[in-house]
Amino acid sequence: MKEDLLQLIALQDIDLQIKKLDDEMKTGYTDIEIRQASIAEKQEQINTDKESIEAGEKRRRELEAEIEDSLVHIKDRQTKLMNVQTNREYQSLLKEIEETKKSNKDKEEDVVRLMEQEEKLQTQITELTNVCRSEEELLAEAKAEADKRSKKIEDAKSKFEKSRTTQAKKISANLSRRYDQLREKRNGLAVIGVTKGICQGCFMNIPPQQFNEVMRGDQLLSCPTCQRLMFHLAEVEEE
């Protein structure tokens, strides 16, 4: 059983190295994903601003057309003022003209406000576009670096995977399945050391009798708490 433990420990060391390489690769591309998300967010804002500008321009043209029509209407009312027969009709036309002028003034203010908003949005689009361009350049550099690092990691991982294939052949099929199941459930640690009667995986105490059996190492034993396969890890080794 000591030989089985040694083989399992060796296999786990290889698996941990492979996992470390996978994590390194994932970390490298996580940064790229963050950069891509940042650029996408800014591009979405640019599109939103462009839609706002388009809607604002449409509304501004509508208001300008309405103002133009109102000016024609005012001119017509002013002409009629010259031909009114009664004071009541005169006052009515005068009131209509004043209300139309007031309405035009409000519309003119809206036109100015829309123009200012358009200018502000256009400035924001320019700024965001420039930022996106800079971030895209940095993203391209990051991708190139990540791809370069990924190639090195893949080469190293390939060597470990070959070693794993060789090492796995030294372990029986049943024990290998048991190991793989534990590794999947226990975050990559299927075999764990026990020091001073404490499992170094879940940090729970092992019954004294069982700890004595672990120290002898003549059988495969599982931690009663986390079910990992145990081996004796002397304090000097732990340090």
For the chain, which domains are there?
Answer: 21-168 (1.10.287.1490), 173-238 (no CATH)
Neighbours of 229 (CB within 10 A): 23
Q: Note the pLDDT of residue 177.
A: 94
Q: Note the pLDDT of residue 57.
A: 96
Instruction: Please state, in angstroms and rounded to a whole number, the distance separating the CA atoms of residues 82 and 74.
Output: 13
User: What are 192's strand-pairing partners?
Assistant: 230
169 CB-contact burial (10 Å; exposed 0-12 / middle 13-18 / buried 19+): exposed
Residue 35 phi, psi dihedral angles, 5° rounding: -65, -40
Under 8 Å between Cβ of 35 and 135: yes
Q: What stretch of H or E contains 146?
A: helix 87-168
pTM of the model: 0.61
Tens-digit pLDDT string for the chain (239 aa) = 688 889 999 999 999 999 999 888 888 788 899 999 999 999 999 999 999 999 999 999 999 999 999 999 999 999 998 888 899 999 999 999 999 999 999 999 999 999 999 999 999 999 999 999 999 999 999 899 888 989 999 999 999 999 999 999 999 999 999 999 999 999 999 999 999 999 999 999 999 999 999 998 888 999 999 999 999 998 754 33
Instruction: Please state, in angstroms and rounded to a whole number, the distance separating the CA atoms of residues 122 and 125.
Output: 5
Instruction: Please state, in angstroms and rounded to a whole number, the distance separating the CA atoms of residues 177 and 185.
Output: 12
- The tally of CA atoms less than 13 A away on the side-chain side of residue 37 is 6
